[in-house]
């Protein structure tokens, strides 16, 4: 059973403001740390905390009566709208988090499924590869093993992408490291546009697949383009 969670059916009932939340105006959010698809988040630190009941999954039927409940349907389009405005909000220094009653595992599924806002196809991966080789490989190496040119000249060595911890992070994590930097690594938000960040993130996942049994998950025509695991460990970008 599949259904479209991304578009709203016509004639949804409109919620009415009964004023029950009026007293919240001007109040501060408490110091409260919650798990999220990107690790723990303190709600006190965000500027926009939007609350929604639950996001649907295309592979599961809607709850009975969902569309008839005012305000219930629309969580996925709402979250996607925040996602699409993410770069703009971030440029303004606005931090956004979404809060729903779903278990973390479902939210991770949702985040992973939606965070790459376009189909991952060969063109996207090749673009990701090209950007990766320009911006990331000098330190991370073409294979993502952390042995790039600059590192060999004495800069701090980044972790290999092929360690278990980084294999297990959602693709969105790479997007966030590019956007915000990580530890000793600067961010690349100015150099790499949001769409290209997703391409690079997707390409990193492919690099990870290429180094283990999941190589079969990589589209055949992309496999030929990947660096060979036996290639010299460190190569600078082609200039
Ligand atoms: C100037 C060198 C340099 C460049 C260029 C660079 N990184 Fe890094 N990266 C590092 C270092 C150093 C670390 C480890 C930072 C630390 O642990 O303090 C790191 C860590 C990471 C991590 C792992 C974070 C974690 O959880 O351990 C990811 C993912 C990553 N970089 C992605 C990228 C991507 C994608 C690019 C290209 C857009 C990139 N890096 C460009 C140096 C670099």
- In a shared domain, residues 131 and 212: yes
Write out pLDDT tens, residues 85-124. 777 877 787 777 777 666 666 666 666 666 544 445 667 7
- In a shared domain, residues 179 and 140: yes
> What is the DSSP track for 16-85?
---STTGGGTTPPPP--EE--BTB-EEGGG-SEEEEES----TTSPPPTTTTTSTTTTTHHHHHHHHHHT
pLDDT at 238: 39
pLDDT at 233: 44
Write out pLDDT tens, residues 185-218. 999 999 998 888 988 998 998 888 887 766 666 7
Domain CATH number, residue 51: 3.40.30.10
Residue 232 placed within a domain: no
Quote the CA–CA distance of 196 and 128 in Å, as a whole number: 7
Query: 60: Cβ below 6 Å to ligand 1?
Result: no
Domain CATH number, residue 219: 1.10.760.10
Mean pLDDT of 151-166: 88
Q: Which residues constitute the domain of residue 188?
A: 122-223
pLDDT at 117: 47
Please give the backbone phi and psi of residue 155, each rounded to the nearest 5 degrees, phi first.
-75, 160
Residue (of 186, 188, 78) closest to 132 by Cα position: 188
Q: How far is the CA of 174 from the centre of ligand 1 (A)?
A: 9
Residue 39 placed within a domain: yes
Q: What is the token pair recorded at 204?
A: 């990193």
pTM of the model: 0.56
Q: How far is the CA of 185 from the centre of ligand 1 (A)?
A: 5
- In a shared domain, residues 111 and 126: no
User: How many Å separate Cα 216 from the centre of its chain?
Assistant: 23
SS3 117: coil
- In a shared domain, residues 103 and 83: yes
Q: How far is the CA of 117 from the centre of ligand 1 (A)?
A: 23
pLDDT at 37: 63
Domain edge (last residue) among 115, 142, 161: 115
Residue 31 placed within a domain: yes
Q: Which residue has its alpha carbon closest to ligand 1 atom 23?
A: 159
- In a shared domain, residues 128 and 218: yes
pLDDT over 60 (residue 1): no
The residues near 223 (Cβ < 8 Å, ≥ 6 apart) are 210, 215
pLDDT at 177: 95
- In a shared domain, residues 93 and 164: no
Name the pairing type of β-strands 33-34 and 48-52: unpaired
Residue 230 placed within a domain: no
């Amino acid at each position: 059973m599949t259904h479209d969670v991304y578009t709203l059916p016509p004639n949804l009932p409109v919620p009415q403001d009964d004023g029950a939340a009026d007293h919240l105006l001007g109040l501060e959010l408490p110091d409260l740390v919650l798990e999220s698809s990107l690790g723990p988040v303190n709600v006190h630190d965000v500027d926009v905390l939007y609350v929604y009941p639950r996001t649907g999954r295309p592979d599961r039927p809607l709850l009975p009566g969902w569309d008839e409940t005012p305000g219930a349907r629309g969580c996925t389009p709402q979250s996607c709208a925040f996602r699409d405005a993410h770069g703009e909000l971030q440029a303004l220094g606005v931090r956004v988090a979404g809060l729903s009653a779903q278990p973390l595992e479902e939210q991770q599924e949702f985040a992973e499924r939606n965070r790459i806002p376009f189909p991952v196809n060969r063109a996207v991966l090749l673009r990701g590869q090209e950007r990766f080789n320009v911006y990331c490989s000098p330190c991370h190496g073409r294979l993502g093993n952390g042995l790039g040119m600059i590192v060999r000249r004495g800069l701090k060595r980044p972790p290999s992408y092929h360690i278990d911890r980084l294999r297990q992070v959602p693709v969105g994590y790479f997007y966030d490291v590019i956007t915000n930097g990580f530890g000793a690594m600067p961010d690349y938000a100015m150099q790499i546009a949001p769409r290209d960040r997703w391409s690079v993130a997707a390409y990193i996942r492919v690099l990870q697949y290429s180094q283990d049994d999941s190589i079969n998950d990589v589209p055949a025509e992309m496999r030929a383009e990947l660096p060979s695991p036996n290639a010299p460990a460190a190569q600078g970008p082609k200039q």
